[in-house]
A and B are shown apart, each in its own frame.
Chain A
Amino acid sequence: MKLVSLVVTLLLGALLLMATADFPDWGDPQSPASLHVSDYYIENSMEQTSVPNFVTSILADYRGYDTMFETTVIFCAGLTVLTLLRRNHRRQKKVVMSRPKRENQDLILTSAARMIAPMMQIFALYVVAHGHHSPGGGFQGGVILGASFILLALAYDLRTILDRLKERRALIMCGIGVAIYAGIGAGCLLLGGNFLDYGVWGKVLGVSPVEARSHGMLGVEIGVAITVMYIMFSLYADLSSGGEMDEGL
């Protein structure tokens, strides 16, 4: 059986490698993508959206609909893990085999985590806010924000962090993040534009439509960051404690 699967895998790998030979070379200016698609964004992104980093403008504006549902996918993934793992002891009536509580947390670990976490959070906010001008954006910033809480949960224990970051509140915030994204999109409808056509927000914000696109992108990036941050922490909390929400790792 192992031999068969090895042969199948090798054959498949060889086929895929043969297929990659037909791809255009990396960075080939004559490749179809570079001929028609990329040029448009490279040349027009700055005039149409006033966002220098056109990766961000493609993700959050030109392909904003995709990104909205990517955020929703993250949201659903978090909810799925929660549904599968979260256990409620009052209902199950089983004997709780709680692990011994950690009496003395490591001083070096906790002090280091306490100093690193604020730096991470400020850097994450910078990544979110500066996503228009440099690599980064809502997703990366949200992950770093979530990671800062995971770091604290690793250094202390999960329960200490859950006292400050309530599970219930985290889940509400996950939904709010997606709602901010969809809400900014739906607001465009109310203002007479198309869904996720941020330009019309200029009427409300008092700026030109081009400038409004930039602001709209910042808004949806913030929504993405909120959802991703809380989902990442919720995933960690569920997986590390096996759904018990006790001490964690």
Chain B
Amino acid sequence: MTLDASLLWQFDFLIVLMVIICAVAALTFKDLITSAVVFGAYSFFMCLLWTEMLAVDVAFTEAAVGAGVSTVLFLGTALHIKRRAKD
């Protein structure tokens, strides 16, 4: 397997860009539920990034835990606490 097994660099760039956008957005949103969902999207892009780097086992875990279960746990918690951040 050669080093250039990765796809186009433009594709990488797009994924990294989306990771950063999602990370900043998850921090910026005042509504916790929106934040939780955007954080799920962040996990999906991280999952794509891991797959892109051929770390498929890590990508699988990221998809199952990061995007799947932890989003549900965040949502479940957000519904029980004050929904909007103060600052």
Contacts and interface: CB of A to CB of B under 8 A. Distances in A.
Contacts of B65: 143
Please classify the interface of chain A as helix (H, G, I), strand (E, B), loop, or mixed, using the class held by over half of its residues.
helix
Interface string B1-39: 001000000000000000000000000000000000000
B69 A143 contact: yes
Most buried by A among B3, B53, B73: B73
A135 B57 CA distance: 5
B57 A26 contact: no
A147 B68 CA distance: 8
A50 interface: no
Interface residues of A, number: 26
Interface string A44-86: 0000000001011000000000000000000000000000000
Contacts of B59: 135
Contact of A140 (B60, B72, B73, B76): B60
A147 B64 contact: yes
B79 A249 contact: yes
Contacts of A249: 75-76, 79
B61 A150 contact: no
Contact of A150 (B3, B60, B69, B79): B69
B56 A135 contact: yes
B57 A136 contact: yes
Contacts of B75: 249
Interface residues of B, number: 18
A236 B64 contact: no
Specify which of A53, A135, A147 lies most central, judged by the most chain B CB atoms within 10 Å of its CB. A135
A154 B69 CA distance: 12
A236 B76 contact: yes
8 contacts: A140-B60, A144-B64, A147-B69, A236-B69, A240-B76, A240-B80, A242-B80, A249-B76
Interface of A: 26-27, 29, 53, 55-56, 127, 135-137, 139-140, 143-144, 146-147, 150, 154, 232, 235-236, 239-240, 242, 248-249
Interface of B: 3, 53, 56-57, 59-61, 64-65, 68-69, 72-73, 75-77, 79-80
